[in-house]
């Protein structure tokens, strides 16, 4: 058995999601290869070759791979798919855009957002907003899998010495074109990669009130997040949203302020190592998953926490 990981990257460097996906691939048994499809992506390929556990890096370099268009990358995956028992990608926007196309053309059932590998053909994935875990067994010759990265440790970025093979790039499909990208800029850590997250909910009350969380995030060098209720109310941008329909995170420390803990939010953060909840409602569902809970007025408690942190 040989597993192929579709690398997520920006041509210059790999995304952390790739390392978590390599860990999942290794647990499927057999060798792990990584496909880097990009344009002038030599630096990303070099990083992939150094990941512990990777035995080969396949490089497809062409201008039409520059922006990771799913139509083109999927065709490149299909060109080599017959050599593999498992094809995996992170369950990010990148992976979710590519692998369903691959699965459809291979006529196999995709297994989405796995959090555990029980055996080479059996996997676990959350359902019902994480309230239940489904065990899925596949008899398909090629298993096409997206990986929920919070369920797997990151493979070491050094220690590997994989061979590199250059592939003949498939032709541009011509089915799509890259128009533009608007990137949110922030001095804070990226939400899905942050070790500490300070997150606010509808209980904050307004966009202006969200500023009360900034000193706390600054003291902890934390990313800032929010519940869907806070996003829908217009308090903060969409890219702050944590939850089933937002970003799935698992930081070392998650501080939930004014968040009641709706099931959809819990699905996105309950794998955090330590959860601290601040809410005036002692019956709030967030306390059911919190390691530490403070019942009280967040507008009094948060400044006190900042003061104690010096």
- Note the pLDDT of residue 136: 97
Q: Which pLDDT score, from 0 to 100, does residue 221 have?
A: 94
pLDDT at 244: 87
* Domain range 2-166, its CATH number among 2.60.40.10, 3.40.50.1980, 3.40.50.620, 3.40.50.300: 3.40.50.620
> Using one digit for the tens of pLDDT, what is the confidence trace for 34-54?
999 999 999 999 999 999 999
Looking at residue 186, its pLDDT comes to 73
The per-residue pLDDT for 146 is 98
Q: Which residues are annotated as a binding site for FAD?
A: 202, 227-228, 241-245, 258-265, 279
Q: What is the pLDDT of residue 104?
A: 97
Whole-Å CA distances, 289 to 21, 62, 191, 221, 265 = 26, 47, 20, 23, 11
Please, where in the chain does CATH 3.40.50.620 lie?
Answer: 2-166
Would you state the pLDDT for residue 114? 97
Radius of gyration of the CA atoms of the chain, in A: 21
| Residues of the chain predicted below pLDDT 50 | none
Q: What is the pLDDT of residue 214?
A: 95
Is 191-308 in CATH node 2.160.10.10? no
Residue 79 has which token pair?
């060109």
**Range(s) within the chain of domains with CATH label 3.40.50.1220:** 191-308
């Amino acid at each position: 058995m040989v597993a192929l990981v579709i690398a997520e990257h920006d041509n210059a460097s790999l995304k952390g999601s790739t390392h978590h996906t390599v860990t999942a691939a290794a647990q499927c048994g057999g060798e792990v290869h990584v496909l880097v499809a990009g344009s002038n992506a030599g630096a990303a390929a070099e990083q992939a070759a150094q990941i512990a556990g990777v035995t080969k890096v396949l490089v497809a370099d062409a201008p039409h791979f520059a922006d990771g268009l799913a139509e083109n990358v999927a065709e490149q995956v299909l060109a080599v798919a017959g050599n593999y028992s498992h094809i995996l990608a992170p369950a990010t926007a990148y992976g979710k855009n590519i692998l369903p196309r691959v699965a459809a053309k291979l006529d196999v059932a995709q297994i989405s957002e796995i959090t555990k590998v029980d055996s080479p053909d059996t996997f676990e994935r959350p359902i019902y907003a994480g309230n239940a875990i489904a065990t899925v067994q596949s008899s398909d010759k090629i298993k096409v899998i997206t990986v929920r990265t919070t369920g797997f440790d990151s493979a070491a970025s050094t220690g590997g010495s994989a061979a590199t093979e250059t592939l003949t790039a498939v032709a541009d499909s011509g089915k799509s074109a890259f128009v533009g990208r608007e990137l949110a800029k922030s001095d804070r850590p990226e939400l899905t990669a942050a070790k500490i997250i300070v997150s606010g909910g509808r209980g904050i009350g307004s966009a202006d009130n969200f500023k009360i969380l900034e000193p706390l995030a600054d003291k902890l060098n934390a990313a800032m997040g929010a519940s869907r209720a806070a996003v829908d109310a217009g308090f903060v941008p969409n890219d702050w949203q944590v939850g089933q329909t937002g970003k799935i995170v698992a930081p070392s420390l998650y501080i939930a302020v004014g968040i009641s803990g709706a099931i959809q939010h819990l699905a996105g953060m309950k794998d955090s190592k330590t959860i601290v909840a601040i809410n005036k409602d002692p019956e709030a569902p967030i306390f059911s998953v919190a390691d530490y809970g403070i019942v009280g007025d967040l507008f009094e408690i948060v400044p006190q926490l900042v003061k104690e942190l010096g």
